[in-house]
Chains A and B, each alone.
With several copies, the nearest count.
Chain A
């Protein structure tokens, strides 16, 4: 039981899974002696050896394909992509094979794997290092997409992903990597996949978000609380499959909902949530469903990135508008 950062929690979960299951392997660029560019795999090479912690050549389209072969043979590969900006060559293998192998062989072959990648902006990273493209994966059948919002969530959700029999894309908000410390039991207890977490209860409005944006979302909820407005805050956690039930029952009580995402607005996951509410929860809506999101622009380089990312103030502006409907 100790206070950990997200990157430490990720490392702890990886070590635990490698300890409890011989089949778990870690592959990626610089995951060995360097411990990964964010140090998420630091110490694993020393502890588990070069047969289970494998530094790969610079071949992004290869890794998920390797994992398909390893998974079909009973291993549980964990593939680290150094940044989400370099994961795109792997979409072919995720879409054409990883998410399909079990179905296309009627269960004869399957390929459990965890595809890890740091993602998102706000850390003044170089070009191509700050995008949020989780929605691309959330549309792909046969996989899971999970995004932790805090150290404890990171530990529990990653453990669950590492034990899951199907492919999981696990996206780690690097803005959270070292920004907060949290108690992490570290006792091997996993958190459930496929469901959202209600971080804070409230009757006036439902705020739905995931990953790094929960910081601004919770800050906005605090600001609202001071005005006597009780916002319910939901952490999506598993983006695919999406637990609409939790969101629906919250909005059934609040009647209002604002969805906050860092990714570009159009085609982002916020649309899926709003669509689910507009169908199954419409009768409960007292106000328009609002999305506060990144713009449909190229993610700006660091000098402008803070103007791109939804701020607490922007969130508050929209929440107030949503609350203004009688």
Chain B
């Protein structure tokens, strides 16, 4: 038997769990302000998540999916993207969405059960939150094909979880993207859990990055709690895609420190001990340690940031709570470009409302 093909999967990390640099940092990380901005974005994301959970607990928001502990993934990829790139998120990329101009009020409207939350005033071409797991991957291939056909130097960035890698349509999308050398980057937020199903019960594959091998494209792992590594690795993948070198898959290794959503109770299926262990990997604490050690971040700055983030989030929440629902007829408004005559009777029926 002779070997006809061989492959390997690499792993990248710059800061260890204590926030110590393991070697030279990528260029962008040499500028303290860049790192500080990454830090601020992660803190804002965590502050937003906490507020959203609080709103849900008090009956003022629907089910919500926090990204607690995974801020480095969404912030890292969010800053690696250019404004003109297109984001196709799952439902845990609020960090990236906020960076791209989706307002926190819009995010709250969405989770509060109002379609206007997906009518982003900012990134008009970004896709809305995608609840059916993995079904945004084919959209990303389609968007990337459109960008390629128009010869634009733009990239479609698609994010999904470890569980999503078991979906056939995610595989089909990656296979097609690689075949056509599309300008796309697929990022797996491997937070180790798909609700109650641990990573090890999702697939026998040693890594999720190797899912790329079946599609015939590069795949690699990155420490998803090291925002510098995420931004660097995803940034390189985006750059390759932008240059026409084709798509790739990045597996970001992180951990879901929260329940799956506010509707979930993780204590049913995992040990608190495991969770506390994982808190030691907290991406925010990690970068804060690095910045303080390097003298770029003070206690005062920290307190100011906490206060400022809180203010922003509160303002967004108030704007959300102050937004009245759409009129019922809105459900017919954007159903088709122009409402077919056949549906006028139904709209009239709706207008009659509950008059018996």
Q: Check A304/B326 contact, CB under 8 A, given A70-B145, A72-B125, A108-B120.
A: yes
Contact A58 B142, beta carbon cutoff 8 Å: no
Question: Binary interface profile of A, 233-262, with partner B (CB < 8 Å = 1, else 0)?
Answer: 000000001111100000000000000000
A80 to B132, CA, bound (A): 16
B103 within 8 Å of A (CB atoms): no
- Report A253 CB to chain B, min CB distance, Å: 21
Give the interface residue-count category, chain B. Answer: 35 or more
A96 within 8 A of B: yes
Query: Known contacts being A102-B336, A105-B128, is A316 close to B356, with CB within 8 Å?
Result: yes
| Stretch with Cβ within 8 A of A (4 or more), from B66-74, B275-283, B339-347 | B339-347
Asked if residues A35 and B268 are in contact (CB atoms below 8 Å), the reply is: yes
Judge if A202 is at the interface, Cβ distance under 8 Å. Answer: no
The stretch from A2-10, A49-57, A146-154, A206-214 touching chain B is: A49-57
Task: Say whether A72 contacts B176, CB under 8 Å.
Answer: no
| B33 contacts A by Cβ under 8 Å | no
Other-chain residue from B119, B149, B331, B337 in contact with A307 (beta carbon distance below 8 A):
B331
Q: How far is the CA of A73 from the CA of B183 in the complex (A)?
A: 14
B316 within 8 A of A: no
- Bound-state CA distance A301–B341 (Å) is 24
Nearest residue in B to A68 (C-beta to C-beta)? Answer: B139
Question: Is A134 an interface residue, CB under 8 A from the partner?
Answer: no
Hey, which chain B residues are within 8 Å of A125, CB to CB? 62-63
User: What CA separation (Å) do A107 and B120 show in the bound complex?
Assistant: 11
CB of A173 within 8 Å of the partner chain: no
The answer to whether A65 and B135 touch (CB under 8 A), given A107-B334, A241-B342, A303-B112, is: yes
* Nearest opposing residue in chain A for B144, CB measure: A69
Q: What residues of B have a CB within 8 angstroms of the CB of A59 in the complex?
A: 166-168, 172, 175-176
**A303-B326 in contact (CB<8A):** yes
Count residues on chain A whose CB falls below 8 Å from chain B CBs.
Answer: 81
- What residues of chain B lie closer than 8 Å to A297, measured between beta carbons? 331-332, 335, 346
Q: Shortest Cβ distance from B199 into chain A, in angstroms? A: 11
Q: Which of A33, A102, A127, A194 has the most CB of B within 10 A?
A: A127
Q: Are A166 and B142 in contact (CB under 8 A)?
A: no
Whether B186 sits at the interface, judged by CB under 8 Å, is no
From A13-21, A85-93, A183-191, A281-289, the one touching the partner chain is A85-93
- Which of A33, A58, A67, A110 is close to B194, meaning CB atoms less than 8 Å apart? A58
The residue in chain A whose Cβ has the minimal distance to the Cβ of B88 is A69
Question: How many residue-residue contacts, CB under 8 A, span A and B?
Answer: 250
Residue of A nearest to B346 (CB): A295
Let me know if A124 is at the binding interface, CB within 8 A: yes
Q: Is the pair A296, B143 in contact by a Cβ cutoff of 8 Å? A: no
Q: Complex: how many Å from CA A96 to CA B136?
A: 10
Closest to A103 in B: B334
Query: Nearest chain B CB to A104's CB is how many angstroms away?
Result: 5
B112 touches A108 (CB 8 A): no
Task: Select A313's contact among B325, B331, B333, B356, beta carbons within 8 Å.
Answer: B356
Neighbour of A85 across the interface among B132, B147, B175, CB < 8 A: B132
Pairwise interchain contact B356-A102, C-beta atoms closer than 8 A: no
Q: Mark A35-69, 1 if CB is under 8 A from B, else 0.
A: 10100000000000001000111111110111111
Tell me if B352 counts as interface (CB < 8 A to partner A): yes
**Is B196's CB under 8 angstroms from A106's CB?**
no
A100: nearest residue on chain B (CB-CB)?
Answer: B335
Q: Knowing A65-B173, A106-B334 touch, does A124 contact B62 (C-beta < 8 A)? A: yes
Q: Decide: B196 and A30 in contact? CB cutoff 8 A.
A: yes
User: Given the interface contacts A62-B176, A106-B118, does A304 sit within 8 Å of B132 by beta carbon?
Assistant: no
The yes or no answer to A265 lying at the interface (CB within 8 A) is: yes
* Contact of A142 with B335 at beta-carbon distance under 8 Å, contacts A108-B118, A194-B342 already known: yes
Q: Which residue of A lies closest to B269 (CB)?
A: A33
| B115 pairs with A69, CB closer than 8 A | no
Q: Does A97 contact B (CB under 8 A)?
A: yes
A200 sits at the interface (CB 8 A): no
Q: Any chain A CB within 8 A of the CB of B141?
A: yes
- Most interface-central of B111, B118, B325, B350 (chain A CB within 10 A): B118
Answer whether residue A308 sits at the interface, using C-beta atoms and an 8 A cutoff. yes
Are A74 and B146 in contact, CB atoms less than 8 angstroms apart?
yes
Q: How far is the CB of A88 from chain B (nearest CB, A)?
A: 9
Report how far A59 CA is from B201 CA in the complex, Å. Answer: 12
In this assembly, does B54 line the interface, its C-beta being within 8 Å of a C-beta of chain A?
no
CA of A304 to CA of B48, assembled, Å? 25
> Cβ of A141 < 8 Å from any Cβ of B?
yes
The contact string, 1 if C-beta is below 8 Å from chain A, for chain B 251-271, is 000000000000110001100
Name the CB-closest residue of A to B133: A58
Interface contact A58-B197, CB-CB below 8 Å: yes
Known A102-B337, A194-B342, A243-B342; judge A73-B118 contact (CB<8 A).
no
Q: A89-B169, A128-B131 are in contact. Are A104 and B115 (CB under 8 A)?
A: yes
Other contacts beyond A65-B135, A242-B342, A304-B325: 10, CB < 8 A: A34-B269, A55-B197, A57-B163, A57-B172, A61-B168, A68-B138, A93-B135, A102-B337, A126-B63, A313-B353
Closest CB pairs A-B (n = 10): A69-B142, A65-B138, A302-B113, A73-B146, A34-B196, A57-B166, A241-B342, A307-B328, A313-B354, A165-B337
A-B contact pairs, 11 of them (CB 8 A): A25-B149, A29-B194, A55-B201, A57-B194, A65-B142, A75-B149, A102-B336, A194-B340, A241-B342, A303-B325, A313-B354
A interface with B by C-beta (< 8 Å): 25, 29-30, 32-35, 37, 51, 55-62, 64-75, 77, 85-86, 89, 92-93, 96-97, 102-110, 124-129, 141-142, 165-166, 194, 241-245, 265, 295-298, 300-305, 307-308, 311, 313-314, 316-317, 320
